[in-house]
Amino acid sequence: MADPAAPPLIELSDVSRSYGTGESEVRALDHVDLIIRQGEFVAIMGPSGSGKSTAMNTIGLLDRPSAGRFLFNGVEVQGLDRDRRALLRRHFLGFVFQGFNLLARTSALENVELPLIYKGMPRAERILRARAALHKVGLEGREDHDPSQLSGGQQQRVAIARALVGNPMVILADEPTGNLDSHRSHEIMRLLQTLNREDGITIVMVTHEDDIAAYASRLVVFTDGKVVGDGPVAERAAE
């Protein structure tokens, strides 16, 4: 549960992001103000071209604002060079994608180990932590299975374990149920909800499905690059 008195973990202040120039300019983000505190579970929604993916890429340090300020855990990051941004991603962020992005013909354990290899962690410690992450997502006993031997839901659990293994402050989930059927979608969402509520991991999720957004505690809605709605999910559901 987020502490409303806690300092912001993620803070976008008057952030704009433009592509192109002159008549071809597209403003993907238009003077956005957004604060996310540690422990929140935030769903981001909006129509195609609304700016929600650009906002996610900005928060994930994959894109830079054209104007405004972006602070992560109190550190102003838009001026950092590529190496320092990569370092922040590696140590503080975990990513979950619609397409799983697992390495084929590579075991679940080895897929989960991958972020720790980039950190230079010794192999014995990598294996212990990867096994623990797979256990946390309910895949003990599947460590040696490659993606072709796993269901879509199990593959997404491996991807979540990979995001978890580095002990991130934030998990960024981009349409995490987009390739799953309804039953497995809700399984994955219950898992993310548990990680948020029991482990205190901040989750920021882009989705276009109302029933998936309902697992979050807060809903932010984008239209034409602007935040046009921001409030508790339960409150919106009651409207």
How high is the pLDDT of residue 182?
A: 94
The pLDDT value recorded for residue 179 is: 92
Collapse the DSSP code of 24 into the 3-class scheme (helix H, G, I; strand E, B; otherwise coil) and give the result: helix
Instruction: Give Cβ neighbours of residue 158 (< 8 Å, ≥ 6 apart).
Output: 100, 102, 108, 111, 112, 134, 137, 139, 147, 150
The sheet that has 8-19: what strands, in order across it? 26-37, 8-19, 67-72, 75-76
What pLDDT score does 31 carry? 96
pTM: 0.92
Those residues with Cβ within 8 angstroms of residue 183's Cβ, 6 or more apart along the chain or in another chain: none
pLDDT at res. 24:
81
Domain boundaries, the chain: 8-101+168-237
CB 112 within 8 A of CB 134: yes
Assign domain 8-101+168-237 to its CATH architecture.
3-Layer(aba) Sandwich (3.40)
* Integer angstrom CA distances of residue 128 from 63, 99, 116, 120, 205: 33, 26, 11, 15, 28
Give mean pLDDT in consecutive 10-residue pieces for the chain, a chain of 239 residues. Answer: 76 94 86 96 95 95 94 90 91 93 95 92 96 96 96 96 96 95 96 95 96 96 97 62
> Tokens in use for 6?
């806690």
Per-residue pLDDT, 2: 63
Alpha-carbon 228 to chain mean position: 21
pLDDT of residue 237: 41
Q: Convert 119-142 to b/e letters by CB count within 10 Å (16 or more is b).
A: eebeeeebbebbbebbebbebeeb
> For residue 173, what are its two tokens?
């989930």
